[in-house]
Amino acid sequence: MNKLDIAFFGFCLTLTVASGFLQLFGLLAYWANILALVAAVLGGSLITLESVKELLHKHFGVDILASFAIWISVLVGEALAAAVVVIMLNGGTMLEEYIAGRSSKAIEKLMKSAPLTARVHRDGKEIEVPLNDVKVDGMVYVNPGEKIPVDGIIEKGNGLVNQAIITGESVPLEKFVGTTVYANTLLENGTLDIRVTKKSGDTIFAHIIRQVEEAQLRKAPVERIADRYARWFAPIILSVAVITQLVTGNVISTAAVLVISCPCALTLATPIAVAAGLGNSARDGVLIRGGTYLEEVGRCNVAILDKTGTITLGKPEVVDVKALGKNTVIEVLSIAGTAEQRSEHSLAKAVLDEVKKYEVSLAEPEELEVKPGYGIIAKNSGHTLLVGNMNLMKEHSVVFLDEAALYMERETALGHTVVAVAKDGEAVGLISIADTLRVGVKDSIAKMRQAGLEKVVMLSGDNLAVAQEVAREVGIDEVHANLLPEDKVKYVHRYREQGKCVIVIGDGINDAPALASANVGIAMGVTGTDVAMETAGIVLMADDLSKVARTVTLSRRVLSVVKQNVIFAMAVNITGLILSTQGLVNPVLASVIHEGNALIVAFNSLRLFGRSSS
């Protein structure tokens, strides 16, 4: 879509609106008709050209019928009606091109977020080099707060890596010698020496970009309902017109056949209903990027959901605090908060949020040592405070009895992260931290089934224990875990190959390939990334999963109204055809009938504006 196309559409739209205004108030009738005629002829020529191309490919679509509508309307003096058809069809095409352009821009933005250079050692010096100059088996070096530029294996060092962009995991992972790291993930603390295992163009992140692009190119446009009818309706009308002329020899009867068959009502059958549905969904906080997505989502029977950020909030929270011995929950939080208050770690933020809830007062630590991969050691008023994992506790000879061990085993089995707290070598307590479920998510999934979705599946980059526990809590039918973005795409393709119509619901960059590969992708609009939202056909502006079921229900109502419109429009056309072939309807009366037909279809569609999707 270039500036010339936009200018041309704007010119035709201006002429059509001006003509309609003048005719509505009975002003300058001659010039009103001229304005509409210019818009119809200019726009109609382009549509007719496309119709001819379709005919050459043996495809009879609604554009072919619309071409007849435009030129027959012009011939019988209905230039404004012809101009309206031009605006409707060209406007829809421009909207589709605009959406495609937005998706391309999102991909470009994502690509720019990745590091373009890597730090290496050359001739005894540390220098920055372009990624293309980094060889497989070479070494790169990453400092705290930097993005990792390559896929590789850690040869030296340890630290916390936030790899949500790749796996969607909500909690940064401890990385140490021998573990794998991915390009474009963030090293939150620690330093890493990484041996490169893949070229820059072969990284997991590069695969995400390619998969989104390829999926968008492969995705065929959803066929308009009117096109399915027009495929056989257009040839029939042309045949009837020819037969009428041959049998009767009456040009007036033949003209009446063509006029009564002008597909105004058939052409309007889908767009007005869809426009009403889009308006309805927008009021409900659901942004649908065009009628094809609104039509398609109502046909879907499988929903695939991402876990982190979609079913869960994607933000670690304290779910339980266990005080040990004679200590209290307040004392556990006070010690943990004092040690963690300067930390930027996501688990520390979860602890500090819990401290605020209890209104616990914190002391300022006199000394502070952060041990990447272990935890924090703080000094306060002569006391040594430890907050971290069991490796830190063992290093300082802190003993946790069987009661604590059983607690940690149970919480870990649930997929929770357990932070140990000690003071002066004595165990004080344990803090269980987890990514929490969205409010009402279980009910939302139940409503998806009520709306007609046969199966609800969860795909997650998180570990299996965590994913299974979440699935059990919310009522998921099927769960697959430890998945990379390309693995999620494989599951989407598997269901589609089985003949299923698939909805994918996600929020992250790692979900983008699956969103693009689905029949319909639905993105979370508040927590979702730009790429997820631009790749998806539908965006939930309030991150409310209950809106998925409402959108599916609304889509099915729209499809029902479209079918009503098509059946009514064709019934009128067929009746008019019969009467026209008998010479009982002249071209003027035929024009009145087909305009009335279109008006009834429009009013039937407008009912959707006032109907709730709930």
Catalytic residue numbers, as ranges: 306
Stated as kind and residue range, the H or E segment containing 459 is strand 455-459
Q: Cβ(496)–Cβ(343) under 8 Å?
A: no
Q: Is 500 left (phi over 0), alpha (psi -120 to 50) or beta?
A: beta
The CA-atom distances, in angstroms, between 585 and each of 411, 569, 588, 595 are 80, 17, 8, 14
DSSP assignment of 84-144: HHHHHHHHHHHHHHHHHHHHHHHHHHHHHTS-SEEEEEETTEEEEEEGGGPPTT-EEEE-T
Question: What is the sign, positive or negative, of the torsion defined by CA atoms of 231, 234, 239, 240?
Answer: positive
Residue 164, number of CB atoms within 10 A of its CB: 23
User: What are the residues facing 538 on neighbouring strands?
Assistant: 288, 522
Token pair of 204 as six digits? 């997991």
Q: Is 147 left (phi over 0), alpha (psi -120 to 50) or beta?
A: beta
CB-based contacts of 291, cutoff 8 Å, min separation 6: 92, 224, 270, 271, 274, 275, 277, 278
Token pair of 520 as six digits? 């319909």
Q: Which of 220, 234, 217 is nearest to 58 (CA)?
A: 234
Tell me if residue 317 falls in helix, strand or coil.
strand
**At 547, phi and psi to the nearest 5?**
-75, -15
Token pair of 125 as six digits? 């010096």
Residue 26, number of CB atoms within 10 A of its CB: 8
Token pair of 539 as six digits? 């965006």
Q: Which of 613, 573, 562 is nearest to 228 (CA)?
A: 562
Token pair of 500 as six digits? 């299923």
> Which residue reads 């803090």 in tokens?
431
> Which residue reads 């009308």 in tokens?
237
Q: Is 190 left (phi over 0), alpha (psi -120 to 50) or beta?
A: left
Calpha distance 603→594 (Å, rounded): 14
Buried b (16+ CB within 10 A) or exposed e, 592-604: ebbeebbeebbeb
End-to-end CA distance of the chain: 36
